[in-house]
Amino acid sequence: MSLLEAQERLRQQHLEWFRNHYKEQFGESTLREQEELVSGVEPNHQRPDWDLYYVNMLPQIGMRATCNRGRSGCIITDQEHHIIMTGYVGAPPGMPHCDEVGHKYEWRLDYDPFGATGFDLDDMHRHCIRTTHAESNSIYSAAKKGIALENSILYCTMTPCQRCAEAIVQSGIKRVVTAREYHDTAPAVEYFKQGGVELLTVGGKIEYKA
């Protein structure tokens, strides 16, 4: 077989692979799609922007999370959109995971019980504290490897909690993009406003899970 013949065979194999791949994704191709496939000209293809690109990856990263109260994922990128670090919610290395031994709950009240509004027992919320959150885990992993996060962008499943917001501001991250809005966004919003961190939420609100 000549080099040209070998190249043509490889090209046909690639085309075949693409056709099968498209068939799996979209069903039988239309003639226009076939033409686009062969010519490479596909003006209607919708490219996600960088925010959507990374937000769409978060569920996959969260698959390795070990607490079912929110299998959160996190991606940190630099300003040129290269991935610096990823992380997910889970117990620190060597410690048991929620999936193995169950959640470790702490009850919290989001306001001062001695304040003017008084105190209602129904306002007590329980939080699982066995895990390190996806955002903090990603920041700690970068620290472990000596990777600077100054001016980086952080993508995460929901609005960060106060502790993660502190870590985000303190590590110099400049922009946070979340897939969903957590039921209580006030602590993070306040930290980000004061700390000069831009916050963007692309999805809807997540209600509190009792």
Binding site for Zn ion (CB under 5 A): 67, 98, 103, 128, 130, 133, 161, 164
CB-wise, 130 or 175, nearer to Zn ion? 130
Distance CA 152, CA 31 (A): 44
Distance CA 141, CA 93 (A): 11
Give the ranges where 27-102 is alpha helix by DSSP (H).
31-39, 50-55, 58-62, 98-101
CB-wise, 53 or 195, nearer to Zn ion? 195
58, 177 in Cβ contact below 8 A? no
Distance CA 33, CA 41 (A): 10
Distance of CA 123 to the CA centre of its chain: 29
Distance CA 173, CA 15 (A): 43
CB-wise, 38 or 186, nearer to Zn ion? 186
Smallest distance from the beta carbon of 128 to Zn ion, in angstroms? 3
Smallest distance from the beta carbon of 178 to Zn ion, in angstroms? 11
CB-wise, 19 or 163, nearer to Zn ion? 163
Smallest distance from the beta carbon of 56 to Zn ion, in angstroms? 21
Smallest distance from the beta carbon of 103 to Zn ion, in angstroms? 4
